[in-house]
Amino acid sequence: MEKTKMKDNRNVLEVENLKLYYNVSDGQVKAVDDVTFFLRKGETLGLVGESGCGKTTTATALMHLPTPPGYIAGGKIILDGEDIVPLKETEIRKRIRWEKISMVFQGAMNCLTPVYTIGKLMTETLQEHRAISQGEKTSGFSKSRKTPRKMNKEEARKIMVKYLDYVGLSEDILRRYPHELSGGMKQRVVIAMALFLEPKVIVCDEPTTALDVVVQAQIINLLKELKEKLDLAFIFITHDLATVAEVSDRVQIMYAGRIMEIGTNQQIYGKQGPMHPYTRRLLEATPRLHEEVEELAFIPGTPPDLLRPPQGCKFHDRCDVAMEKCKTEEPDLIEVEEDHYVACWRCRK
């Protein structure tokens, strides 16, 4: 990807050559291998791929929370003009995580501590970053810059109610326990908690996967509304091309730790269709409800073992249009038309 395109003042997040490796006993797993992409203000970027393609790993890198033994092996993550990769953990915790970028983890809605009320859970999350004084009024003593901004209980409550309102929940949720809520409501609570500190970027990892279709549609609508209302930038991680089509302005397809294609919603789902053979065939394999098909398409074979990745393009052994070059040389991601990036030898003129 050309550097000029990357440097753009519309971008809130720019990721350059990000590498996240796992050192395991049998060798090195390049879970995210030299990934470059950007996220514009107020847009939703869909991050799509099959399990193990590195989409969640990319998200943990953005949060500066790689799961051990994973570590960021190189690259830049420029969030709001600042590279967060070299920052120390204390710094990240104080200024970056939840403050500028927050994440709705996969299955987070099932991880709400069952013994606390939603109010208590939310207060605790808020407290991590904003000291809540017990008194009625904000304490005037704390001048030290190190202590987080103080707020009193009433202010905290106001914030919680405000964000609960954003996600379409009423105030009385605060007194309820997680088990009293339905799956959709819990997911809304988790999203509200990610909004608390007004971050610039919210990463949602499979936020609709465990939900029923009707609730899924409701959550998708909610995310769309939030984007409008709060001018947020979302990264929406999922394995389902159909869900992404509904929410994402741009779609980024990953396979075996690499980005295969990035394109606008129209470029991927429009008449012309995607360019990369992987995206194309994945889209063909996505079932459509309103079309009667005799045979569903599929991609034979399985994704490569990242401990022993194939030479050349990672997809070549499952690709039906692979050439000799694909087996030896790995293609980079290049821009083939405005906002449309593809990593494939076949797609070059």
Partner 1 sequence: MSNSKYLVEVENLQKWFPTRRTIGEVFKGQQRYVKAVDGVSFKIERGEIFGLVGESGCGKTTTGKLIMKLLDPTDGKLIFDDDDVTHLDKVGLDTYRQNVQMVFQDPYASMNPRFRLRDVLEEPLIIHKKGGSKAQRMEMVKKALNEVRLQPSEEFMVRFPHMLSGGQRQRGATARSLILNPKMIVADEPVSMIDLSTRAEILHMMKTVQRELNLTYLYITHDLSTARYFTDKIAVMYLGKIVEMGNPNDVIDNSMHPYTKALITAVCEPIAGKVNRIKEVPIKGEVPSAENIPQGCRFHPRCPYAIKECWEKEEPVLEEVEKGHFVACRRYKEI
Residues in the site for partner 1, rule: CB under 8 A?
44, 50-51, 182-185, 212-218, 220-221, 224-225, 239-249, 265-266, 268-270, 281-283, 285-290, 292-293, 295-300, 302-303
In the complex, least distance from residue 300 CB atom to partner 1, rounded to whole angstroms = 7
| Least Cβ distance, residue 129 to partner 1 (angstroms) | 31
Work out how close the CB of 255 gets to partner 1 at its nearest, in angstroms, rounded to a whole number. Answer: 9
CB of 216 to partner 1, least distance (A): 7
Cis ω for the linkage preceding 69 (within 30 of 0): yes
Beta-strand ranges (E) seen in the chain are 11-24, 27-40, 44-48, 70-79, 82-83, 101-104, 131-133, 150-152, 201-205, 233-238, 250-255, 258-264, 334-337, 340-342
Residue 316 CB: number of other CB atoms within 10 A? 23
In angstroms, the CA 167 to CA 152 distance is 23
CB of 298 to partner 1, least distance (A): 4
Closest CA to 168 of 202, 215, 100, 136: 215
In this complex, which beta carbon is closest to partner 1, that of residue 148 or of residue 168?
A: 168
| Closer residue to partner 1, CB minimum distance, 179 or 349 | 179
- Name the residue nearer to partner 1 (CB basis): 41 or 239: 239
Residue 4 C-beta: closest distance to partner 1, Å: 27
For partner 1, the closer CB: 10 or 95: 10
Min CB(230)–partner 1 separation in Å: 15
* Cβ-based nearer residue to partner 1, 105 or 278: 278
Specify whether the backbone of 190 is left (phi greater than 0), alpha (psi in -120 to 50) or beta: alpha
What are the helix (H) ranges across 80-212?
A: 89-91, 118-129, 153-166, 183-195
| Single-letter code of the amino acid located at 263 | G
**Nearer to partner 1 among residue 4 and residue 289 (C-beta):** 289
Which stretches of the chain are DSSP H helices? Answer: 3-6, 55-62, 89-91, 118-129, 153-166, 183-195, 213-230, 241-247, 265-269, 277-285, 324-328
Comparing CB distances to partner 1, the nearer of 157 and 281 is 281
Q: Which tokens is 307 given?
A: 């401990």
Which CB atom, from 246 or from 261, has the smaller least distance to partner 1?
A: 246
Please calculate the CA angle 78-81-85 and round it to the nearest 5 degrees: 30
Strand order in the sheet with 201-205: 101-104, 201-205, 233-238, 44-48, 250-255, 258-264, 340-342, 334-337
